[in-house]
């Protein structure tokens, strides 16, 4: 089961949003747990920092409105680390957050080097990675 919201958010059949889980569990008394969703989006590598932060804010609020818990390092880490001098430390935290999440959602018009690192790490860990621009679920090639 998957859905579309007015804002264009589409959940993944393999990792359904809170609303879809709620619909499918209406006959069940089981409690639905919100997903922890890592927002993979450009910070400084594409577009403007302020424009990217505003996009991430909107995405995070949409995810939260669907009952999920967004992880938005683009909003949190700039308060802790200087992009110019501490980018490696910030990326280490990002990869730890990817490891802790349930799903990685890729947003935006381009994949930056940092986003590529996050996506590769998630796939290596076997995390679901969904490209929200195309709706495709990304998978590692079979060996």
Domain annotation for the chain: domains and CATH numbers: 33-138 (3.40.50.10400)
Two tokens at 43? 């910070």
pLDDT digits (tens, 9 = 90+) for 84-102: 899 999 999 999 999 999 9
What pLDDT, in 10s, does the model give residues 68-87? Answer: 999 999 999 999 999 889 99
Tokens of 77: 């880490």
Beta carbons within 10 angstroms of residue 84's beta carbon: 7
CA atoms within 13 A on the CB side of 106: 25
- Reported pTM: 0.76
């Amino acid at each position: 089961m998957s859905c579309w919201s007015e804002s264009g958010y589409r959940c993944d059949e393999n990792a359904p949003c809170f609303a879809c889980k709620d619909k499918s569990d209406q006959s069940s008394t089981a409690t639905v747990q919100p997903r922890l969703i890592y927002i993979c989006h450009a910070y400084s590598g594409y577009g403007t920092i302020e424009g990217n932060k505003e996009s991430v804010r909107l995405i995070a609020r949409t995810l939260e409105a669907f009952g999920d818990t967004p992880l938005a390092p683009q909003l949190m880490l700039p308060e802790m680390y200087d992009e110019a001098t501490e980018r490696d430390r910030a990326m280490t935290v990002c990869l730890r957050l990817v490891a802790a999440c349930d799903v990685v959602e890729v947003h935006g018009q381009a994949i930056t080097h940092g986003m590529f690192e996050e996506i590769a790490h998630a796939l290596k860990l076997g995390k679901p990675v969904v490209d929200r621009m195309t709706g495709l679920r990304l998978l590692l090639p079979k060996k």
